[in-house]
Structure formats: C-alpha cells, structure tokens
Amino acid sequence: MKKFIVAVDGLKYSISTYNTAVYLAKQSGAHLVGVFLDDITYHSFKMYDLVGEDGASEEKISLMQEKDLERRTAAVEEFERICENAAITYTIHHDRNIAINELLHESVFADLILINGSETLTHYTENKPTRFIRSLLSETQCPILIIPDDYQPVNNISFLYDGESSSVHAIRTFGYLFPGLMDKSCEVVTVNTNEKQKKQLPHAKLLSEFMKRRFPRATYVAMEGIPENELVKHFRYVKNTLLVLGAYRRGTMSRWLRPSLADCLMQELRLPIFIAHN
C-alpha cells in the first residue's frame, strides 16, 4: 500500500486540501498520513498582541496558547471526520519541531506529499510559490502535489512534456501512484521554442508507444512560443484538470520544465500541480 502525506498547518487548515488528499488517496488505494506541523516556534498571535498596558502577562500568553490548541484540535478532528466518511485508512502525526525540517524528513518515508500552494507556516500571506513551498520543492525526497485553494474533482490530466527525461519520469511516476486515474481523459502538451521544430512532439514515436501502455486515451497538443506564456493561455480557463510536470534535475536544467515555469503555473493558475524530481 502506498503512503501519501497531507501536510497541514493546524492554525490555518484548508478543507480543500483535506478533500483533495482524501479523494486522491481513495483513488490510489493509499494510506493517508495527516502531518500536522505544530511547530513550537509558530503561533497564531504576534508579540504585540500580547502586550497591554501592563506588558505581556502570563495569563494573556496562556489564553492565546489555549486558543491555538483549540484550533489545532479542531483541524485534527475535521481531518478525522473527512477520512472516516470516505472510509480510508489514515494516521496522524504531530511534528513539533521546525516545520520545513520535519516535513523534509517525513518525505524520505513517503510516496507523495500533498500541500496547499498558499502554505507559509507564518502569520503572513506571500505570493506563490511561498518560501515554504520553494524550500520543500527544492529538497523533497518524494513527489509533491500542490493543491489550490478551491477543491475540484479531477476529470482530466495534462502532462507537460518537453522531450527531456524529467518530464517522462513525471508521467511514469504519476502512473505508478495513480493507476485509478489511467482511464481519465488526458493530454500531452508540449511547447516548442525552436522555430524549426514548430508544432512537433519531441521523440513522437517513442512517446506514443510509452503512453499507449499507461494512458491509452491520451491526446497530443503541440504549440510553439514561450512555454510560460503559451501554457498559461492554454490552461487559463480550464477546470477539473490536474497538471503533471517534471522539475529540474539536481545539477541539470531541463529545456523548459525549469523552476521558473513551475513558479509561473502556481502563480497564474488555480489547478492542482504534480511535480516529480528525477
């Protein structure tokens, strides 16, 4: 049985993240682990919230900490309720040290991490991708699925392909993790930056042979131009679609599936994005 992790900030938990994680775990027959990042250095309150006319009293600190505990408890209870209603197996971890370090350690022993794309593990909101997400993507030991704020069931899968091994690896990994989604409508999308190639698929014969044995319903879309611009236009108004892309390989840059593209898609689109290192 595969092991999926859903990473949760118990002070700002997302129902969309829960629903997506539970749906995909059920589709894959995976065991779902709720990793609650209860970082002891992180609270919902700021220091100036504690300061009154008489300074920061122990009573006020205790009251704020109690409210945080109530929020975190409610987050766990909601996760348990959704998992039990879906009849999936699950486990709960409370990780209380530095959040990013704890989650990276968990990634060594997981098949997939699911996390909301807005996650910061701070008081503040940040532009996507947040510093926390960037750190996770650069150091994770397993694939990551970035979840948008609004939950949508997955009806279509789009594989972003540039002819490099990293994009093929992402397709292969996705197929292993989600055999239950192989009958979904899917497309392979490529953007050629070389004018001579125009609207051609790199290694088209080998790709077709590879896809037939995994996603036999796949269709192919070839475009030309700047990948960031063309892909955002292609997916701008698309719904119920999951994107699959290969991240840069450590020490090597893919031709166009590079960190800046993943950043652009997270900023501009409201779709779940599966990212696999090679």
Q: 17 with 71, same domain? A: yes
Q: 14 with 132, same domain? A: yes
**CATH at 56:** 3.40.50.620
Q: 9 with 143, same domain? A: yes
CA distances from 71 to 11, 125, 126, 143, 167 (A): 6, 19, 22, 29, 40
Q: How many domains does the chain have?
A: 2
Domain stops at, among 128, 147, 166: 147
Q: 166 with 272, same domain? A: yes
Q: 184 with 110, same domain? A: no
**Range(s) of the domain holding residue 262:** 156-276
Q: Which of 235, 225, 232 is nearest to 260 (CA)?
A: 232
Q: What kind and span of H or E run contains 20?
A: helix 15-28
Pair of tokens at residue 206? 């080998």
Q: 17 with 120, same domain? A: yes
Q: 250 with 162, same domain? A: yes
Indicate the DSSP class of residue 180.
G
Euclidean distance between CA atoms 97 and 83, whole angstroms: 25
- Other residues' Cβ atoms within 10 Å of the Cβ of residue 184: 17
Q: 210 with 137, same domain? A: no
Q: Which residues pair with residue 186 across a beta bridge?
A: 157
CA angle 147, 152, 153 (to 5 degrees): 110
Q: 120 with 209, same domain? A: no
Q: Which of 211, 243, 181 is nearest to 29 (CA)?
A: 181
pTM for the model? 0.90
pLDDT tens by residue, the chain, 278 residues: 999 999 999 999 999 999 999 999 999 999 999 999 999 888 877 665 555 556 566 767 778 788 999 999 999 999 999 999 999 999 999 999 999 999 999 999 999 999 999 999 988 889 999 999 999 998 999 999 999 988 888 999 999 999 989 999 999 999 999 998 888 999 999 998 876 666 788 899 999 999 999 998 999 999 998 899 999 999 999 999 999 998 744 443 344 445 578 889 999 999 999 999 87
